[in-house]
Amino acid sequence: MQQYSTLIFIVLIALAFYFLILRPQRKRQQAIQQTMNTLSPGNRVMLASGVFGTVISVGSKQVVLEISPGAELTVLKQAISRIVTAEDEDNLEEQDELDEEETVTEDAATAEPYELQAERPVEGPGAAAGTEPAAEPETPTTTNSKPQTAD
């Protein structure tokens, strides 16, 4: 009887391993393979690093993406994590509104006068080249320069 219980326990462990680890992993691999097979020019994709781009061409191992107008990036197919949906990207209209608000805020900030520092006269050849320090470093004045020793 002891033999059967040990055998049943081993079978249960193997089944749990299959359903908890192997089966989900196989499903993920199939989903990734399906994504790679459905890639076509014009698809919007996201890389595993979080970079968004538009597929320009698809090769057997590599994909050429346009990440910004005129900037192309060649990546391995495995680097593509998923095809992007509209929910994954920011709404461009909302972004434009935020940019307009920032511009208005910056315009209001630039309308206030700035306080100018007093200008220093330019003297010597080092000052003309811009190598003169802005302020003179303070030197400590000490009268006793002997190191102290503990006897």
- What is the pTM for the complete model shown? 0.48
Longest dimension (CA), the chain: 103
Task: Indicate the average pLDDT of the chain.
Answer: 77
pLDDT of residue 138 exceeding 90 = no
Report the domain count for the chain: 2
- Specify the CATH number for the domain of residue 61: 2.30.30
Q: How many CB atoms lie within 10 A of CB 63?
A: 24
Residue 65 lies in a domain: yes
**Residues 19, 46 within the same domain:** no
Higher-confidence residue: 145 or 80?
80
Angle at 15 (CA atoms; ends 10, 17), nearest 5 degrees: 95
**Residues 1, 29 within the same domain:** yes
Determine the pLDDT at residue 94.
Answer: 60
pLDDT of residue 128 exceeding 80 = no
pLDDT category at 55 given cuts 50, 70, 90 is very high
